[in-house]
Amino acid sequence: MWDCLDRHPLAAIAAWNVSETSATGSLEPTFLAGEQHGFDEVVRVHRKIEVDEKFHVGLGRQVLARYAATDDDRNEILRAMRGMHSIASEMFTPSKKAPS
């Protein structure tokens, strides 16, 4: 994400937005596991975080929609989003190899 800061201002926002979207997607399993194991306080706190995360995702979308005016803007946004998607995908995908 930090590499985007040197390229295009909207690229950094786009990478951050994909990161926020990934974080939001990881909350529901946290709620389910917390409820299943009786971690009520963890669930309560993360439910509050979920509200902020949804706001952050919406804010990023609004900024990108408003300021992406040219094909160059859109290409840089897509490049940054694809890069962050690749990072997030690797981070949230369980390894196929068992730990040694």
The terminus-to-terminus CA distance of the chain in angstroms comes to 31
Kindly state the tokens that stand for 22.
């990934």
Of 58, 66, 49, 46, the C-alpha closest to 21 is 58
**43 or 90: whose pLDDT is higher?**
43
Q: How confident is the model at residue 98 (pLDDT cuts 50, 70, 90)?
A: low
Whole-number pLDDT of residue 97: 57
Q: Where are the domains of the chain?
A: 2-92
Q: 3-class secondary structure for 3-21?
A: HHHHCCHHHHHHHHHHHHH
Of 2, 18, 17, 23, the C-alpha closest to 60 is 17
Q: 73-94 pLDDT, tens per residue?
A: 999 999 999 998 888 777 767 7
The pTM assigned to this predicted structure is: 0.71
Q: How confident is the model at residue 35 (pLDDT cuts 50, 70, 90)?
A: very high
Q: 20-34 pLDDT, tens per residue?
A: 888 787 788 888 999
